Amino acid sequence: MAHITRTDRESGKTYVTPTERESRTVCVAPAGFMRTHRLRANALAIATCALAAFLSSCTHSPSRPTPQTEDVAAILAFNQRYVKAINDGDFATLSSLTTEEHVMLPPNRAPVVGKAANDAANLRATGQFRIAETWSAVETEVAGDWAWQRGTFEVIASPKAGGEGRTMIGNYLHIYRRQPDGSWRMVRDMFNTVPAPEGN
């Protein structure tokens, strides 16, 4: 170890002091510590990038329709076909959309039960009237192979033999059942009427 010897001129005493180089304290981290630190920093950077990519994919990936959303769309499509058949006077299509378990519950009248009875009622209506009917769904819920829908309707029925037409508006409640082929059919049809607006 190197030292510097100094003598005090006045006292004559001699001092031994370390060199300036030795008086400095130098801390050198072990090589293993630096290597571990770099690995941790790299791992953190990779994890941060992966998280950012995941969040970006969640934000921008298009949402896929849920099974219930698809079922509701299928029920609405059935409604469109059914109402179109009524308005077109297309009894054959209307009959093909009516199942054996169909029950109609009209206001202040006995239930119309089964396909044959509903076909007969529809045949009379389409034969006697030109019908303009609309359904507006308010809510639709699906539970497995069953579904229900609440909505409003309007019917304008004009006698084919001539004469004044009649407007009927009201509310409906439909129950639907999934068929073996996966399609939906209406099996219960209940409705009431409310007074039509003045002038109709």
Domain limits of the chain?
Answer: 3-51, 68-194
Model pLDDT, residue 24 = 44
SS (H, E, C) the chain: CCEEEEECCCCCCEEEEECHHHHCCCCCCCHHHHHHHHHHHHHHHHHHHHHHHHHHHHHHCCCCCCHHHHHHHHHHHHHHHHHHHHHHCCHHHHHHCCCCCCEEECCCCCCEECHHHHHHHHHHHHHHEEEEEEEEEEEEEEECCEEEEEEEEEEEEEECCCCCCEEEEEEEEEEEEECCCCCEEEEEEEEEEECCCCCC
Q: Which of 2-6, 26-30, 106-110 has the highest mean pLDDT?
A: 106-110
User: From CA 45, how far away is CA 75, in angstroms rounded?
Assistant: 50
pLDDT at position 65 over 80: no
User: From CA 147, how far away is CA 87, in angstroms rounded?
Assistant: 25
pLDDT at position 149 over 50: yes
Whole-number percent of the chain with pLDDT over 90: 61
Model pLDDT, residue 28 = 45
- pLDDT tens figures, 126-148: 999 999 999 999 999 999 999 99
Look at 21-35, 99-113, 114-128 and tell me which has the smallest mean pLDDT: 21-35
What integer is the mean pLDDT of 166-183? Answer: 97
Model pLDDT, residue 67 = 74
User: From CA 22, how far away is CA 18, in angstroms rounded?
Assistant: 6
Give the dihedral sign, CA 119/124/130/133: negative
68-194 is a CATH 3.40.50.300 domain: no
Confidence band for 10, pLDDT divided at 50, 70 and 90? low
Look at 55-69, 108-122, 163-177 and tell me which has the smallest mean pLDDT: 55-69
